[in-house]
Chains A and B, each alone.
Chain A
Amino acid sequence: TQLLEQSPQFLSIQEGENLTVYCNSSSVFSSLQWYRQEPGEGPVLLVTVVTGGEVKKLKRLTFQFGDARKDSSLHITAAQPGDTGLYLCAGHRWAGGTSYGKLTFGQGTILTVHP
C-alpha cells in the first residue's frame, strides 16, 4: 500500500496550459517536499512545506500543504517544455522507532510539455 498517492501518474500537455499534481495520504506528515527529476539526473528539491494550509510560490509553480497536513498539491501555470520531468512528493512522518529521518516518496508524476 502506497502511503503517499500521487496523481495523475502521467500528464501530457501543450505549452501554455495549466496543470495540477496531487499528493494524498491518510497519514499526517510533519513536512512535505516536492522534487523534480530530469532524465539521467538525481531529484532536485523544489520546495518544503511544514505548516498546515501553507502556500508557497516559486515563479510559475504554486505549492500547497493541506490544512490537516495529509495532502499537498503542485500547480504549474503556463507550462513550458522546460518543466518536463518526473515530479515526486515526499513526506516525513515519525512513526516511532527507526522511522525518524526517513522520507516516504510518492510514485511520481511524469510530466511532458509539448512545444
Chain B
Amino acid sequence: NAGVTQTPKFRILKIGQSMTLQCAQDMNHNYMYWYRQDPGMGLKLIYYSVGAGITDKGEVPNGYNVSRSTTEDFPLRLELAAPSQTSVYFCASSYEPTGFEQYFGPGTRLTVT
C-alpha cells in the first residue's frame, strides 16, 4: 500500500494564480481531510469529506475548494492565490473503527509570491 500520496511536493505560485493539490489514498478510507500547517504550528482543518460526494468546511475554508468524486481522491483547489496561503498542506485519511486515527501524506509546500 502506498498509503496517502500528495502531489506536487513543492510549488511556487504568483499572486492571483490557481492550482490544484492532488491527494490520493489506497486504504479504502471513507474519511479524508485537508490541513494547513504554518511554521512551528499545529494543524488547521480546511475541508473534510466523509465519503464520495460529501464534503464540508473546516476551520479555515476561505480561498479553497474541494471535491470528492471517488473514495480514493480528494483534490484541493486554490483559486486566486494570496500570500496568506503560503503554507504546508497535508492531506490525511481515516477510518471510523480506529477512532479516526489520521494517516497523513508527505505534504505540499506552497509559496505564493
Contacts and interface: CB of A to CB of B under 8 A. Distances in A.
B103 A92 contact: no
A33 B103 CA distance: 12
Given A88-B43, A108-B41, A101 B103 contact: no
A21 to B, nearest CB: 13
B42 A106 contact: yes
A40 B6 CA distance: 13
Contacts, number: 60
Interface residues of A, number: 27
A45 B100 CA distance: 11
A86 B41 CA distance: 9
Given A41-B107, A42-B105, A105 B42 contact: yes
A66 interface: no
Contacts of A41: 106-107
A50 B99 CA distance: 8
Given A31-B99, A48-B99, A102-B58, A42 B106 contact: yes
Nearest to B50: A101
A40 to B, nearest CB: 8
Contacts of A27: none
B94 A101 contact: yes
Interface string B82-99: 000000001010101011
A108 B105 contact: no
A48 B40 CA distance: 23
A88 B50 contact: no
Interface of A: 6, 30-31, 33, 35, 40-45, 48, 50, 86, 88, 90, 92, 98, 100-103, 105-108, 110
Interface of B: 4, 31, 33, 40-43, 45, 48, 50, 56, 58, 90, 92, 94, 96, 98-107
